[in-house]
Amino acid sequence: MSSTPDSVDLSAPPSLETVLFVHAHPDDETIVTGSTMATLVARGARVTLVTCTRGELGEVMPDDLAGLRGAPEALAVHREGEIAQAMLALGVSDHRFLGAHDARTPGLRPRPYRDSGMEWGPGGTPVPVSDLHPAALCHAEFAEVVSDLCAVVADVRPDAIVSYDSDGGYGHPDHVRVNRAALRTARLTGVPFFAITGGSAAPEAPLAEGDAVAAPVPDGGVVVDGRITFDGETVFDRKVRALSAYRSQVTVLTTPSGPALEYPHGAVQPVTVLETFRHVPEPAGESGLDNPSLDDLGVSGKIVTYLLAVVAGGLFGAIGTVTHQDGAAAFPYGVVLALLLVATLLVGVRLLFGSRVVGVAAAVGLLGAVAILSLPGSGGSALIPANGPGYAWSFGPTVIAVFVLAWPRVHQRPSDKMESSPRDVVAPDAKEQI
CB distance 119 to 130 below 8 Å: yes
- Which pLDDT band, with edges at 50, 70 and 90, does 185 fall under? very high
Q: Are residues 220 and 365 in the same domain?
A: no
The verdict on residue 354 lying in a domain is: yes
Q: Are residues 60 and 154 in the same domain?
A: yes
Q: Are residues 193 and 331 in the same domain?
A: no
- Which pLDDT score, from 0 to 100, does residue 268 have? 93
CB distance 284 to 273 below 8 Å: no
Per-residue CA distances from 416 to 91, 287, 375 (Å): 34, 16, 46
- CA-CA distance, 167 to 171, in Å (whole number)? 5
- CA-CA distance, 26 to 434, in Å (whole number)? 8
The verdict on residue 368 lying in a domain is: yes
pLDDT digit string, tens, across residues 50-62: 999 999 999 999 9
CB distance 8 to 194 below 8 Å: no
The verdict on residue 7 lying in a domain is: no
pTM for the whole structure: 0.70
CATH number of the domain residue 150 falls in = 3.40.50.10320
pLDDT at 381 over 60: no
365 three-state secondary structure = helix
Q: Are residues 163 and 237 in the same domain?
A: yes
- Average pLDDT on 146-173 reads 94
The verdict on residue 167 lying in a domain is: yes
pLDDT at 356 over 60: yes
The verdict on residue 261 lying in a domain is: yes
Q: Work out whether strand 268-270 and strand 258-262 pair parallel, antiparallel, or are unpaired.
A: antiparallel
- Which pLDDT score, from 0 to 100, does residue 275 have? 93
- CA-CA distance, 306 to 353, in Å (whole number)? 11
Query: Which domain, by its residues, includes 335?
Result: 296-406
Closest CA to 249 of 96, 51, 92, 65: 65
In terms of pLDDT, which residue wins out, 303 or 431? 303
pLDDT digit string, tens, across residues 65-108: 999 999 999 999 999 999 999 999 999 999 999 999 999 999 99
- Which pLDDT score, from 0 to 100, does residue 376 have? 76
- Which pLDDT score, from 0 to 100, does residue 127 have? 86
Q: Are residues 274 and 317 in the same domain?
A: no
Q: Are residues 421 and 355 in the same domain?
A: no
**CB hemisphere CA count around 93 (13 angstroms):** 7
297: DSSP letter:
S
- Average pLDDT on 180-207 reads 83
Q: Are residues 309 and 397 in the same domain?
A: yes
CB distance 404 to 359 below 8 Å: yes
Residues 6+ away with beta carbon under 8 Å from 380: none
Q: Are residues 300 and 287 in the same domain?
A: no
- Work out the percent of the chain whose per-residue pLDDT is above 70: 79
- Which pLDDT score, from 0 to 100, does residue 248 have? 96
Number of domains observed in the structure of the chain: 2
The verdict on residue 2 lying in a domain is: no
Q: Which of 116-130, 253-267, 274-288, 319-333 has the highest mean pLDDT?
A: 253-267
- Which pLDDT score, from 0 to 100, does residue 408 have? 72
The verdict on residue 6 lying in a domain is: no
CB distance 152 to 19 below 8 Å: no
> What mean pLDDT is reported for the chain?
83
Q: Are residues 155 and 33 in the same domain?
A: yes
Concatenating the DSSP letter of every residue in 339-361 gives: HHHHHHHHHHHHHHH--HHHHHH
275 three-state secondary structure = strand
**CB hemisphere CA count around 248 (13 angstroms):** 31
In terms of pLDDT, which residue wins out, 148 or 125? 148
Closest CA to 98 of 138, 141, 151: 151
- Average pLDDT on 380-400 reads 83
Q: Are residues 141 and 230 in the same domain?
A: yes
The verdict on residue 89 lying in a domain is: yes
- CA-CA distance, 241 to 232, in Å (whole number)? 13
Q: Are residues 402 and 426 in the same domain?
A: no
134 three-state secondary structure = coil
Q: Are residues 321 and 278 in the same domain?
A: no
Alpha helices, H only, 193-298: 236-244
